[in-house]
Structure 1
Amino acid sequence: MITTDPHESSAAYVLHALPDEERREFEAHMAECESCRREVADLRQTAALIGRSTAETPPDALRARVLGQVATTPQDPEPDPGTGAARDPGPRAGTGRPGRRSPVRALKLALAASVAVILVCLGLAGWQHREASDARASARHYEQRQANLTKVLTAPDVRLASQGLVEGATASVTFSRSEDTATLAVSGLPRLPEGRTYEAWFMDDGTPVPAGLLSRDPGRQVTLLKGTLDNASAVALSVEPAGGSTSPTTVPLGAVPLPT
């Protein structure tokens, strides 16, 4: 039996975290509660967006580039079985010794080959180290991002707020004050020209605080907002120069009020 306010069970219901009895009771309540039906629909949409955004894996650039390097590197030809690999090439024209290099020239070739191999090995080792470091950093970034998104969705006080923006675009903020974490999901925003980007802001007592950048062509995107919620009453969105601003330089496209 549901012992808490059924309106607080929406997130757990969407995440299939309710026991069977509580799930049935919540579904019975939801059949008569329009606000819960709307919140469940919004949470499902946000969860779907987050699922798509976290399903991507860190790029395996190292393997792809190594395979590409192998594919474009000339290989030694296979010996012709009809001629024999160890056949003596015979006398060379213009030399007094049949099929032999001078010792000095052979030594120079051997030294040059050794130096080339050492340089290639050193260069490849350094390149592989950089690629591996980049891959590890990317993996840590994706893992941390997914952990934070999961944390806000499973928080006991998770809330969802939505608001229409300009030109039919929409924005939804999923947030937890106990976890001090928030995500911004947008859809329908137009692509910006080069040198411009979308920037999110926490509105704290009327003062905008930078909360992260979106791509200039966000499409349907979920962004884990940076900074702390504190007493933020809304999340606003504006168009800023590439790299972002310390305070808005244009009129905000809209703001999503955050209930307390």
Structure 2
Amino acid sequence: MSSASLVEEVRELAARLGAHEALVRVARELFEELANPFEGCRRVLCVQPHPDDCEYGAGATLADLADEGVEITYLTLTDGSRGTLDPGVEPRQLTEVRRREQERAARIIGVKRLVWLDYPDGELSYSAEVRRRILGVVRGERPDVVIAPDPWLMYEAHPDHRLGGLLTLEAVMFSPLPLFDRGSPPHSVKVVMLYYTARPNYIRPVDRTFERKLEALKAHESQFASTWQTFKLYLEVIAAAYGGQVGSRYAEAFRVIPAVLLHASALSQLV
């Protein structure tokens, strides 16, 4: 479609449906990755504030991708050293336990590479230094798709989740720009996908791998052993709701944003 034709299409749609709906429809024509963000994907970087978040937010999807031969790397931002209700556990001990649990869970999903930044749990700072380290991993791993928690989830109280998601998006935005951190070669990410989102625009059926997600999460015994049946039911209810929407038994939901829309574009909110 020519530029002139696209402009006329938008004008005609806006006259009938309003500007918002016109831009939504045209954006979906322009960005085919909204319908299939993993088309041609060879590498995925999944960023998690703590051990277990990648499995919790996207485990069945990641297992599906691993089975298809996609290379998946986990980037864990904090050490998970305070994620317990047991006052008798020492932070250093919990860090070691959670690292072992994450290694087991990753093997179940099919993830072979784990990168750790080891910031103290609950103390991830909004800083250029943290963003620079995430940027270094993005450029080093060179993923087609980056998956991270939605930093704009309303009522999310954990700062590691809010700041981890935001810093990841900033790192993806800066990654193609060679004058940001000259110590690593630029890399352009095609798509970012946000888990823990209340505004999904991509729902992926995961009937085949949902049980594997549960198995991987069960490996995080320090987090879920005492409440497993309740937590499992919660996961099943959420996945069943999204699955029902797309005609499957279970599904996972994400907010997909083409990386080129991460700066100065209202389309990132409209797509």
TM-score tier, shorter chain, comes to under 0.3
Q: TM-score, normalised by structure 1?
A: 0.21
| Larger radius of gyration between Structure 1 and Structure 2 | 1
More strand by share: 1
More RCO (CA 8 Å, sep 6+)? 2
